[in-house]
Amino acid sequence: MSDALQQACQIREMRLEDVSRVILIEREIFLFPWTEMNFADSVKAGYHCRVLEQNDVLIGYGIMMMGPDEAHILTIGISAQWQHQGWGGKLLQYFIDLAKQQEAVSVLLDVRESNIGAANLYRRLGFKQIAVRKGYYPAMCGREDALVMRLEL
């Protein structure tokens, strides 16, 4: 990733008026997408909702919720045409740093068992699998397990 591209890209707070653009990416990259209301409720609830923007083009987003000691990454997505260029890793690292600033002791997330690419990215950043939630996600043929992953801070 070039320095110029790095500089042109910023992570900022998601606002309610961003949700209509976020949902377009969400529907493009997830088979079972969140609704606009899920995103709007997360913004209103004061979760750490962020977008990744390059020259006014929204290329990704993520949401993290703080518990007493643990931070939970609820969702993270990068528009298909921007994937595999390091942006997901950059956004994830941003949330890890934010969780540290908030004095969390760990960061938790769930990932579909079949989502090998995402799970690899999480492992690369130090997340370890700690549990499996049986049949947690809807799937095309029934249900799918979730891997629960944790990063100790």
| Interface ranges with ligand COA (CB under 6 A) | 1, 29-30, 76-78, 83-89, 111, 115, 117-118, 120-121, 124
Least Å distance between CB 46 and ligand COA? 22
Residue closer to ligand COA by CB (options 78, 151) is 78
- Nearest C-alpha neighbor of 122 from the set 151, 94, 85: 151
Helices (H) and strands (E) in the chain, counts: 5, 7
The string over 108-126, giving b where at least 16 C-beta atoms fall within 10 Å of a residue's C-beta and e elsewhere, is bbbbbeebeebbebbeebe
Specify whether the CB–CB gap between 17 and 39 falls below 8 A: no
Least Å distance between CB 85 and ligand COA? 5
Residue closer to ligand COA by CB (options 28, 103) is 28
Least Å distance between CB 70 and ligand COA? 17
The CB-nearest residue to ligand COA is: 88
Least Å distance between CB 28 and ligand COA? 9
- Nearest C-alpha neighbor of 10 from the set 76, 59, 45, 48: 59
Residue closer to ligand COA by CB (options 19, 118) is 118
